[in-house]
Every structure is written in C-alpha cells, then in structure tokens.
A and B are shown apart, each in its own frame.
Chain A
Amino acid sequence: MSREMIIGAVQRGLKRGPLPADQKAMLAGRMARPPRHLIPARGQLDHEARVALFMMYVEREFGTAVRLPGLADVPAAVADYLARQNLAPALVASPHPDLETLPFADTMLNVRFGVSSPRDAVSLTHAFAGIAETGTLMLPSGPTRPTSNNLLPDNALVVLPAAMIFGCYEDAFDLLRAAGGMPRNVMLVTGPSRSADIEQTLELGAHGPRRLHIMIIDGEG
C-alpha cells in the first residue's frame, strides 16, 4: 500500500509515469559501471607518498602507525606496544590466516583467536585496505574478520599490508567488488572513537577503542 502511494506521489511530482524502458536501462548501466567523480589530488599519489600521507593522517586523527619489515615482526611489536602502554600481555586476535600463522610462541603474549567479548582489553585485527586521502582503514566483515573485534576492546591493534594502502576510497571499493561484492558490514575507520558531546570538547574512547595502533607491513610476509 505505502509502496504504491510513495512511488505514485514521486511520479506525480516528477510529472511522469514510470520511466520508459530505455531510460531504466541507461540508469541500470550507470549502476553496473559506476562513474567516478572528482577525486582530490591528495588521493592520487604514488606508493611511497601514499604510505607517508596515510601515516600522517592517522596520527593527526589521534591514532598511531609504525612500519614493520615483515609479518614475522608483528608479535614482538605487539608485545612492545602493550608493555609501553602498561597493558597486560593478553589479546583477542581475529581468525585471519595472516594472523593465525604469526610466531606468537616467541613472545610472552597470551593470544586467543576468535570474537572479542567485553572483557577483552586488546584486539588484533587484519585490515583489508588503507586509504591515504584521510588515513582511513577499510575493515569488512567476514569469517576471518569479526566486526566486534573492531569495536569492543579499548585498544585496537591493526595489521595492514603496505601494498594495500590506496590513494582514495574508490580504489579500495573496486578491490572489494572484485573480491566478491559487499560483505554484510564494511567499516571505514578514521582514528580512535571519540565524542565532543560534553561541551564540544574532544574526548577519545567514547564507545569504541580509545587507542588505534596500525602496523604497516612492508614485505611480502
């Protein structure tokens, strides 16, 4: 009922009936091959400049970022980070193959793979992509990437291959499309959670993580 009413009212307003078939085909074509709009110059840099810009914007948005030579360096970097923040050496890690094969045994870290609970203070996740133009992470959901792990723990540690840092959002979404289309959930995350609701004064750690630490992996793994 409502559906016909709404569509009817829109068409009356547009002073036409349903679109003719050729028009519909044209619009469907626009959706099948979505045209890109103006992309800011700062979203079109070469690889090294992209990584540098990405890191700069992450830090400006109150996150932290480091570069590591390879995946094998992650466990020590995590242990080091937790020690510096005075956090217990325990974390929940997303069940991603790149994380499951990390040499955690060489450290004192207590690692559990799975979905985070409200008791977990630290999470380690794997980002699908980074976007340089605003220092943004792309975190899609899926069997290897529980959404809760991006949200519940107070400290979010993220592994991001340097090769997956793109200039603009569009490039990252193209890759996501190529990987099989939209998953249930895609988070674009720019810095740690915050609120300015109390007297317009910025406070970090509103409902999501208070700290966001990104480890950029340069090598193949």
Chain B
Amino acid sequence: MLLTTEAFKQNATGAMADAGLQKALARAKPQFAKKRQAAMDKLPEFEALRETAKNIKNHTIANLDFYLETYAAAVEASGGHVHWCATADDARQAVLKICRDAGAKTVTKGKSMVTEEIHLNDYLEANGVTPVETDLGEYILQLRREPPSHIIGPAFHLNREDWEDTFRKVHTDLPADRVFRERRDILTEARGKLRQQFLAADVGITGANFLVAETGSSVIVTNEGNGDLTQTLPRVHVVVTGIEKIVPTIEDTLALLRVLARSATGQDMSVYTTFSTGGRRAGDPDGPQEYHVVLLDNGRSGMVGTPFQDMLRCIRCAACMNHCPVYGAVGGHAYGSTYPGPMGAVLTPMLVGVEAAGQLPNASTFCGKCESVCPVKIPLPNMMRHWRDREFERHLGPPAMRYGLVFWGFFARRPALYRLGTRFMAMGLGFLGAKRGRFSYLAFAGAWTKARDFPAPEGTSFFAQYAARQKAAR
C-alpha cells in the first residue's frame, strides 16, 4: 500500500465524513474498552503483571544481541533455518527464494503485520507466487485490495454489506442469488473457500507474537485457527517476524501471554496459542518438513539506545488504538501507515523516516489513555512528543503550527506577559461565551471546533485563580 501519512490531515477529514466507517467505529469502540475492563476485573494481579511484562521486555532488550544469537542457535539445533534480514528488501527476497526452492505456486498466509510492513504480497505476486490471506479479516481485505485498518481486527472498518458485496463479486462460481441470512453464512462461505486453499498450498507463511530463545520456538496467537492450519498443512512453514519479538524463556512468554489477550480482545487467553519448534520430527504423522524463520530488522536495531528504545517492548496488542480518541474518530486508514494509532505514530517514523511519517506524531490529544492501558507500559505520549520536537527542529511542521508555536513560545518565556495575555483572553472569551458556556467556532481553531465545542473560560485565567488561592491559603 502507498504510504500516505503526509496526508494525515486530509485523510482524517475524509474519514470523518465517511458514513460507513463512522458506523463501524461507533459499533466497535465502546466494545473494546468494555471487554478489556471486564478481563481486568477478573484478575486482581493484572497491574502487577504489567510491571512484570515491562521488566521482562527491558531485560531482553538490554541483552538483545545475546538472546538473538541464542535463539538462532536453538532454531538451528531443532532443524530449522534462520534468515537474518537487515532490510525489508532482504526479507522479501529471502521469502521468495524459499518459495522458489519449494516450487511453490500458492502460499497461504496467517495474519502477519510484518509481512504487511514489507509489502510481501505485492512482491510475491509480481514474482509469480500467489499469496492467499487466511485470516477472515485479511482475506476480505485481499479481495478488496485494501490495507488493514487495525493491527488485530484488520477489517473492522467494514460493515456486513461490504462483506456480502465483495463475496458476490469474487466468488462467482457460487449461485448469484444466494442469500446471506446471518453473519454465520458469510463465515461459512469463506471457510469453505479457504479450506481448498489450505490443502493446495505448498508453503505457509505466519508471523510470530514471540520467539523463545530457550527453545528456538515461534509462538502465534489466533482465534480462528487459520494460523495453525497455515503452519501445519503445507510442506514448508515460513515465519516472518521482527527481531523485537525475542523473549528469553517459556516462563517469560507465559507472563507476557497473561497480559496479551486480556489487553487485546479482553479474552483471558486467545483460542489458539501455538509454539512451533523446527520441522517434522521422526515419527510425526503430520506437520511441515521444513521450518524457516525470516528475522527482520528494518530500523528496529536503530531504536536501541535512543529515546524510542521502549517502543521495542510493544507486543502489538492494539489496546492503545482501541482506547485512543483520535483513532476512534478517524479509524486506521487515515494514518496511512501499516501501524496505526498511538503505537503506529511512534513506530512509523522509525521505520520509514520522520519526513515520510510527517504529521503522525501529532495525531494525538496527549490524553495519556494509551500509556495507561499499555500492557508493557510504553510511554507513548512522551515518545510522540519526542518526535514532535525532532520534527519541529527540522522545520517539518506546517507553517500555521510553526508560527503558532513560536508565538506561544515568545509569551511562554515571558511569564508576566503570558499572564497578562491569558488574563485578557480569558476575560474576553468569558465575556463573549458567557451565554452559552462554550464556543462552536473559534478563529484560528476552526478545525478543532468543527468536531467539538470549546468551553468558554469562566472569566479568569488559571494563573489568576492559582494566585488567588495561594493568597487565601496563607
């Protein structure tokens, strides 16, 4: 997909006018938060587990070189192969070579954000290998040639009518006048279509939620079972994933699993959590003959030792976007990057460069909700602020924002003037807005007031009230 992050503002405006998308957002948003909270309520240890999860990830990153080498050695000891890939292009080529060596015509794919990140499907297709997405959400997006809009619910921007339309257009071998009475009928049709693909594929590609250094295992977490069929039935299993997925031991993995599903979907545990270690063993009646891991860097190692190092803790649970007011208003596509929401706003500039990622770190109200729900306690708002600073230093912001900030900066550095200015503003706005108590339009803040009202000040500024209270307390 084309990266359109530079156009975030335009995209966001379009998204807010998109009735179908707004319907989907209105349906999904309250559910995400409610389900997570319900899972939280059933596990009094959850807050302590977040701290544990954070510490495990920090320990791993501090020794990442050691654990990567140990992991690779363990994979090879179990008969698997590791392909180290510094860039997206290295990874694409490695996957294609494995497919060619296997004589593969079609490959089935489990859900993998890293293969989205490296645009693997387009590349395989251009080189004569047909990729088939098997996660239901990814499957319909592939048919519609759309990118995912959410890292765990890729098609959540679609409504039922969209599914029916697309299936009618694409599954032309089925009777045109068939009726989809329930959602179940849509599911059954997809299941039937994909069964044929699972059985026909020569290679299965999955992502990984964790890579266990102790055992050389890759771990996938799904609800549908498509990932398991993808890695069990074809002759070759390829895992494509990033170097930050390393975890030292099984025990460390289990601790992270205890916060993953609860943060993501509000389940205590996803339906299938599967550890894969090498290819088929002597006496095994099924499973792939070959097992490969394509281990991608693509900018990740460059985050170590920077203010963005903590982002490597991310376990891709999506809680930050599920609770983000900006994501909730515009959906995932507006971000124009593989990774949307707060985690995407931090990660994308690292992967594609701060120039290309443009306005993303500004796609935040800095309300702090994302950090408060993150299972590995990533200080997302702080990192977005870091990117903002860098962007500002490099004069990448739009002029209105730059001049606005310079103007504000001038007063902010001159407290007396600032206080005087805000007092006049508060008095002025208080006077003008006294009747309704809020403004539905403010000069220079038209875009802001378009979607919400600005509360009218009570007539005095914060500083004036603070000073008055201090005085009264004395």
A-B interface contact total, Cβ < 8 Å: 255
Tell me the chain A residues, 2-33 only, with Cβ under 8 Å from chain B: 2-3, 5-7, 9-15, 18-19, 23-24, 27-28, 30-31
Which residues of chain A are within 8 angstroms of B241 by Cβ–Cβ distance?
A: none
CB of A173 closer than 8 Å to a CB of B? yes
Tell which of A23, A38, A61, A115 touches B45, judged by Cβ atoms closer than 8 Å.
Answer: A38
Asked if A190 is at the interface of the complex by the 8 Å CB criterion, the answer is yes
Whether B62 pairs with A197 at a CB distance below 8 angstroms is no
Given the known interface contacts A14-B62, A37-B255, A206-B225, the answer about A188 and B272 at a Cβ–Cβ threshold of 8 Å is: yes
B124 contacts chain A at the CB level, 8 A cutoff? no
The bracket for how many chain B residues form the interface is 35 or more
Closest CB-CB distance, B303 to chain A, in whole Å? 7
Contact status A170-B228, CB under 8 Å: no
- Complex alpha-carbon distance, A189 and B160, angstroms: 29
CA distance A113 to B195 in the complex (A): 22
Determine whether the beta carbon of B137 is less than 8 Å from that of A197. yes
Considering only CB atoms and an 8 Å cut-off, how many residues of chain A contact the other chain? 78
Taking a contact as CB atoms under 8 Å apart, the answer to whether B274 and A187 are in contact is: yes
Give Cα A52–Cα B233 distance, bound, in whole angstroms: 35
Interface-central residue, B27, B44, B194, B228, by most chain A CB under 10 Å: B228
Which stretch (B96-104, B279-287, B330-338, B353-361) binds chain A?
B279-287
Cβ of A194: which chain B residues have Cβ within 8 Å of it? 223-224, 271
Partner of A9, one of B198, B215, B252, B297: B297
A191 to B: closest C-beta gap in Å: 5
B455 to chain A, nearest CB (A): 33
Which residues B277-311 have CB closer than 8 A to chain A?
277-281, 283-287, 295, 297, 301-306, 309
Q: Is the beta-carbon distance between B302 and A208 smaller than 8 angstroms?
A: no
Among residues 200 to 221 in chain A, which have CB atoms less than 8 Å away from a CB atom of chain B?
A: 200-201, 203, 205-209
Measured CA separation A115–B52 after assembly (Å): 41
Quick check: is A66 within 8 A (CB to CB) of the other chain?
no
Question: Is A19's CB under 8 angstroms from B187's CB?
Answer: no
Q: Does B258 contact A (CB under 8 A)?
A: yes
Q: How far is the CA of A36 from the CA of B158 in the complex (A)?
A: 42
Which residues of A from 102 to 145 have beta carbons under 8 Å from B?
114-115, 118, 133-134, 136, 141-143
> Which residues of A lie under 8 Å from residue B274 when comparing CB positions?
185-188
Q: Is the C-beta of B319 less than 8 angstroms from some C-beta in chain A?
A: no
Interface: B85 (CB within 8 A): yes
Q: Which of B69, B228, B277 contacts A183 (CB 8 A)?
A: B277
Which of B69, B215, B229 interacts with A182 by CB under 8 Å?
Answer: B215
Query: B265 — which chain A residues lie within 8 A by C-beta?
Result: 196
A198 is an interface residue with CB less than 8 A from chain B: yes
B-contact 0/1 string along A167-187, CB 8 Å cutoff:
011100100000001111111
Partner of A195, one of B52, B224, B229: B224
The minimal Cβ–Cβ distance linking B288 to chain A, given in whole angstroms, is 9
In the assembled complex, which residues on chain B have CB atoms less than 8 Å from the CB atom of A141? 284, 286-287
B70 at the interface (CB under 8 A from A): yes
Produce 1/0 per residue, B149-171, CB < 8 A to A.
Answer: 00001111011100100000000
* A147 to B276 CA separation, bound complex (whole angstroms): 11
CB distance from B261 to the nearest CB of A (A): 9
B31 at the interface (CB under 8 A from A): yes
Question: Is B66 part of the contact surface with A, judged by Cβ < 8 Å?
Answer: yes
Decide if the interface of chain A is mainly helix, strand, loop or mixed: loop
Tell me which residues across on chain A come within 8 A of B436, comparing CB atoms: none
Q: Return the contact of B286 from the options A148, A190, A209 (Cβ within 8 A).
A: A148
Bound Cα distance A27, B70 (Å) = 10
List chain B residues, Cβ under 8 A from A1: 86
- Kindly state the separation between the CA atoms of A151 and B158 in the bound complex, as whole angstroms: 28
CB distance from B82 to the nearest CB of A (A): 8
Alpha-carbon gap, A187 to B271, bound state (A): 10
B223 pairs with A184, CB closer than 8 A: no
* Residue B116 is within 8 A (CB to CB) of chain A in the complex: no
- Measured between beta carbons, the chain A residues less than 8 angstroms from B211 are none
Asked if A11 contacts B65 (CB within 8 A), the reply is yes
Q: Which of A38-55 contact B (CB under 8 A)?
A: 38, 40-42
Cβ of A35 under 8 Å from chain B: yes
B243-284 vs A, Cβ < 8 Å mask (1 yes, 0 no): 100001111101101100000010111111111111111011
Q: Which residues of B contact A118 (CB under 8 A)?
A: 195, 199
Q: How far is the CA of A35 from the CA of B251 in the complex (A)?
A: 7
Q: Does B442 contact A (CB under 8 A)?
A: no
A115 to B268, CA, bound (A): 31
Q: Which of B45, B62, B217, B228 contacts A208 (CB 8 A)?
A: B228
Considering the complex, give the chain B residue whose CB is closest to the CB of A6.
Answer: B297
Q: Are B70 and A187 neighbours in the complex by a CB distance under 8 Å?
A: no
B121-138, CB < 8 A from A: 134-137
Q: B191 at the A/B interface (Cβ < 8 Å)?
A: yes
Chain B residues with CB under 8 A of A207:
134, 191, 194-195, 198, 224-226, 229
Interface residues of B (CB under 8 A from A): 24, 27-28, 31, 43-45, 48-49, 52, 56, 62-70, 72, 78, 84-86, 90, 134-137, 140, 153-156, 158-160, 163, 183-184, 186-187, 191, 194-195, 198-199, 213-215, 217, 223-226, 228-229, 232-233, 243, 248-252, 254-255, 257-258, 265, 267-281, 283-287, 295, 297, 301-306, 309
In the complex, 15 of the A-B residue pairs with CB atoms within 8 angstroms, ordered by the A residue number, are A3-B84, A6-B86, A9-B304, A12-B305, A14-B62, A14-B304, A19-B66, A27-B248, A146-B285, A184-B277, A186-B275, A190-B273, A197-B224, A200-B31, A207-B224
A residues whose Cβ falls under 8 Å from a Cβ of B:
1-3, 5-7, 9-15, 18-19, 23-24, 27-28, 30-31, 34-38, 40-42, 57, 61, 95, 114-115, 118, 133-134, 136, 141-143, 146-148, 150-152, 168-170, 173, 181-201, 203, 205-209
The 9 A-B pairs of least Cβ separation, nearest first, read: A208-B225, A13-B304, A13-B305, A206-B224, A9-B301, A34-B249, A197-B137, A143-B283, A3-B84
